[in-house]
Amino acid sequence: MTTQSSICVYCGSRAGSDPDFAEAATGMGHAIASEGWRLVYGAGDIGLMGRVANAAQAAGGETFGVIPTHLLNREVGKRDLTRFVVTETMHERKKVMVMNADAIVVMPGGAGSLDEFFEVLTWRQLGLHAKPIVLLDVKGFWEPLRALLSHVVDTGFADASLLDFVQSASSPDAAMAILRRALS
């Protein structure tokens, strides 16, 4: 008997300025559900978050959303998910999301997505988990982040192994190929 994998997707509560970001979110949600995997995400119904969740639902996938009380209205908490969890704090939200996922995909987003990425990367560096982390690098969105990580290593503030903890994919299909290999 195989266990269903769960993929945590970090992404913007805004759609961003390029329609390709929204298209990638739709593609990622659809791909996760089509694989028979569960989407774990921030439970919002706006921006890329809403796109990824609506696509997963439309493809018949399970959805697990986690949102803190103070963002229920701001991020329009999506209550029609398979599982909808309300936390008291952002810290609790992030912990619940990671603890309920087998892998992490980071799509374009703002400060919140960066915060989530750096926390899960730090936890990986410290050996608190060994889950794959994939940057969905739509149109090179994460290239400056990859350069920053290399700079951190080059200037002696992290071991080169830090770079091995993060893989990049230019499309949802490429991200799924990485995830399939990592989770098989």
Does a structural domain hold residue 90?
Answer: yes
* CATH number (domain holding residue 53): 3.40.50.450
pLDDT at 2 over 70: no
Six-digit token string for 162: 């830090």
The mean pLDDT of 139-158, rounded to a whole number, is 98
pLDDT band at 43 (very low <50, low <70, confident <90, very high): very high
Domain, as residue range, for 129 = 6-183
Does a structural domain hold residue 83?
Answer: yes
- pTM strictly above 0.85: yes
For helices 19-34 and 47-58, give the axis angle rounded to 10 degrees. 30
- Total domains in the fold of the chain: 1
Does a structural domain hold residue 80?
Answer: yes
Cα 161 to Cα 48, 105, 121, 150, 177, distances in angstroms: 30, 19, 11, 11, 22
Rounded CA-CA distance 96/40 in Å is: 9
Does a structural domain hold residue 56?
Answer: yes
Per-residue pLDDT of 99-138, as tens digits, reads 999 999 999 999 999 999 999 999 999 999 999 999 999 9
Whether the CB-CB separation of 10 and 104 falls below 8 Å is answered with yes
Does a structural domain hold residue 1?
Answer: no
Does a structural domain hold residue 38?
Answer: yes
Does a structural domain hold residue 25?
Answer: yes
DSSP structural state of residue 18: -
Per-residue pLDDT of 78-105, as tens digits, reads 999 999 999 999 999 999 999 999 999 9
Does a structural domain hold residue 66?
Answer: yes
Nearest to 172 by CA among 101, 105, 120, 102: 105
